[in-house]
Amino acid sequence: MFATGIENSIPVIDNGRKRIDEMEKCFHYKYWQRDIDLVQQLGIQFLRYGPPLHKTFLSAEKYDWSFCDEVFKYIRQKQLVPIVDLCHFGVPDWIGNFQNPDFPSLFTKYAKAFAQRYPWIQLYTPVNEMYICALFSAYYGWWNEQLTTDRSFVTALKNIVKANVLAMRAILEIRPDAIFIQSESSEYYHAENPKAIKPAEIMNARRFLSLDLNYGKRIESEMYEYLMDNGMTRDEYHFFLKYQLKRHCIMGNDYYQTNEHRVAENGSTTAAGEIFGYHVITSQYYDRYQIPVMHTETNFRQGPLGNEAVNWLWKEWTNVLRVRNDGVPIVGFTWYSLTDQVDWDTALREDNNHVDPLGLFDLDRKIRPVGEAYKKLIRDWSEILPTQSVCLHVPVEMPETPKMEKEVNKKAESAEKNEKETSDLLKASKK
């Protein structure tokens, strides 16, 4: 699955006073139809795309689908397969932030309502980069709640992962053949000196927490104690063990040059640059979870030579092939995102309107060298790979296939009927 995505991060900063809306900053609301056309022109069939949650989810059980209806209708007409990203680094103002214990149940209702409205959609990333979302919001203090303690991090993490698990269950009720592509950052922490080994080990254990909980994997003792010491209860922990949805999942691994870190003896970190690379780190994640993998995000800035991003694309693609040749069932690759992004040079912590030349196209929708290179890569490899390995086949129903939608619509109608009957019975019993 060759893919790209529309950047749709929506964190709030400045103690909740300012929202960074990447769709707005990158002019997607204005050029959305043109953007979808550009995806098709590149020969890309899979698009990571998420509705603007803060504009769509207006209050509990109140939604504005007007923008979504237009966009997803056009995506379907163009025969593109969306990988729907329902929550990308932020929530609507009325929910508050990821410390809110009601977030999982509220988000679940939203996910179910979305699946009912668009039953033809099969691929989902309910919550994007759960670990990074919790880390940046509740440990580094950069976004949303802007907190900096272990307890606030654990609170955010358990709420985010619970929301993801419950959303998967709700979507499966509507679309039983739904596939969930997690899209999680693949991190590694390198000890700078012998005294830094212990803090690096802790960080390397902590990086797995979101996926451990999401896939119902039993937590090792040190991290279990960490969770318990910082507010997770035994019942909350057993919730994650109870729901085994791994068989419906593809592990999306995101890798950037910033994913590897040097750790000092006091626990502080600095950027390490690429040391192990995607091949080594993804192999670690696969060894842990043993499920199919997709490279769900990467990019690189186009520099003064004009070929920096092209070279990175080639390097990441060769890493994907190396992972595949080692026997890991890898099913896709993504350059993220379609267009340049804005203010990611400060990790969206500052509203500077600084354009990052990271896209396949610039913000005037002119193709960059990496866009031309990706188009050629797709053309060269898309016919070769399926003939070489069954690992590269995913049971995806294309948008033109009506069979599953009819079945889903019947199921949705039956569920609505049952809900109404249950409601009438409850009303009668109260009388």
DSSP string, 195-225: GGHHHHHHHHHHTTHHHHHHTTPPPPHHHHH
The whole-number average pLDDT for the span 153-176 is 98
Residue 204's closest CA among 220, 193, 216, 215? 220
Whether pLDDT at 70 is above 90: yes
Please give the tally of structural domains in the chain: 1
Write the DSSP symbol of residue 179: E
pLDDT at 390: 45
What was the pLDDT predicted at 17?
Answer: 95
- Rounded to a whole number of angstroms, the CA Rg of the chain reads 21
- 158's CB contacts (< 8 A; 6+ apart) are 213, 227, 231, 232, 236
Q: Is residue 347 left, alpha or beta, with left meaning phi > 0 and alpha meaning psi from -120 to 50?
A: left
Least confident of 171-175, 283-287, 394-398, 421-425: 421-425
Q: Tens digits of per-residue pLDDT, 212-224?
A: 999 999 999 999 9
Q: Could you report the per-residue pLDDT of 251-308, keeping only the tens digit for each? A: 999 999 999 999 999 999 999 999 999 999 999 999 999 999 999 999 999 999 999 9
C-alpha–C-alpha distance, residues 338 and 27, integer Å: 12
Residue 405 has pLDDT above 90, yes or no: no
389 pLDDT exceeds 70? no
Q: In the predicted model, is pLDDT for residue 3 greater than 50?
A: yes
In a domain? residue 200: no
Residue 404 has pLDDT above 90, yes or no: no
Q: How many C-beta atoms lie closer than 10 Å to residue 419's C-beta?
A: 10
Query: Would 223 be classed as within a structural domain?
Result: no
Q: What is the mean pLDDT of residues 47-58?
A: 98
- Does 120 fall in a domain? yes
Q: What is the pLDDT of residues 308-343, one digit of tens each?
A: 999 999 999 999 999 999 999 999 999 999 999 999
DSSP helix/strand/coil, 305: coil
Contact indicator for 369, 302 with CB cutoff of 8 Å: yes
Q: Is residue 150 part of a domain?
A: yes
376 domain residue, yes or no: yes
The enclosing domain of 25 has a CATH number of: 3.20.20.80
Asked if the structure places residue 227 within a domain, the reply is no
115 pLDDT band, cuts 50/70/90, is very high
CA distances to 15, 26, 197 from 42, rounded to whole Å, are 40, 19, 45
pLDDT category, 416, cuts 50, 70, 90? low
Range of 126's domain? Answer: 2-187+248-400
Whether the pLDDT of residue 429 is over 50: the answer is no
pLDDT at res. 400: 73
- What pLDDT, on a 0 to 100 scale, did the predictor assign at position 383? 79
Tokens 């080639």 sit at which residue? 314
Percent of the chain at pLDDT above 90?
88
pLDDT at 423 over 60: no
Q: pLDDT exceeding 70 applies to what percent of the chain?
A: 91
Local confidence band at 395 (pLDDT 50, 70, 90 cut-offs): confident
Q: Is the Cβ–Cβ distance between 280 and 273 less than 8 Å?
A: no
The answer, yes or no, to whether residue 15 has pLDDT greater than 90, is yes
Name the 3-class secondary structure at 276: coil
Q: Answer yes or no: is 430 within a domain.
A: no
Tell me how many helices (H) and strands (E) the chain has: 16, 18
Alpha carbon distances (Å) from 8 to 153, 166, 211, 342: 23, 22, 22, 11
pLDDT value at residue 406: 60
Per-residue pLDDT at 426:
46
3-state SS class at 261: strand
CA angle 40, 43, 49 (to 5 degrees): 50
In a domain, 47, yes or no: yes
Residue range 65-90: average pLDDT?
A: 98
